[in-house]
Amino acid sequence: MTESSREVRGADAGEREPRRRCRWCGRDFAVAPGPGRPRRFCRDGCRQQAYLARKLASSHGLGDDDVIVSREALEDLQSRIYCLQAALEDIDRDLERSKEPRDVAEALTWLRENAEPLASVWIEPRTAEA
């Protein structure tokens, strides 16, 4: 997975402030300009948790790219993806028959209703306390 970074409009008109997602908790944070490596974590606590997770993973023979997810979280994610795939198939079929503005608006509404549950998913990292 690549690190995500994006630009977000700053408080001053027209200014852009570089933003990044924390590699541990996913929280958005501002990237400080200047020399040195860019931050990967929003807080020192997240950096520490990521270190402990890497240490624990390596002691169990897991690599940096290996992820352990609960079956429930995985099944929920797969279910939401399936709903989105089915909605896309429905829209393709419906828009092949008609491209009227009303039909396109209905297709977009249907797509949005099926995409929103997936967009709200965030799988939290598990810690020793969980």
Q: What is the pLDDT of residues 76-123, one digit of tens each?
A: 999 999 999 999 999 999 899 998 999 999 999 999 999 999 888 877
Q: Amino acid identity of 59?
A: S
Full-model pTM: 0.58
- Residues sharing a CB contact under 8 Å with residue 6, sequence separation 6 or more, in sequence order: 18, 19, 20
In the 3-class helix/strand/coil scheme, how is the chain assigned residue by residue?
A: CCCCEEEEECCCCCCEEEEEECCCCCCEEECCCCCCCCCCCCCHHHHHHHHHHHHHHHHCCCCCCCCCCCHHHHHHHHHHHHHHHHHHHHHHHHHHHCCCHHHHHHHHHHHHHHHHHHHCCCCCCCCCCC
Q: What is the pLDDT of residues 47-88, one digit of tens each?
A: 999 898 888 888 988 887 787 888 998 999 999 999 999 999
Of the pLDDT bands very low, low, confident and very high (cuts 50, 70, 90), residue 129 is low
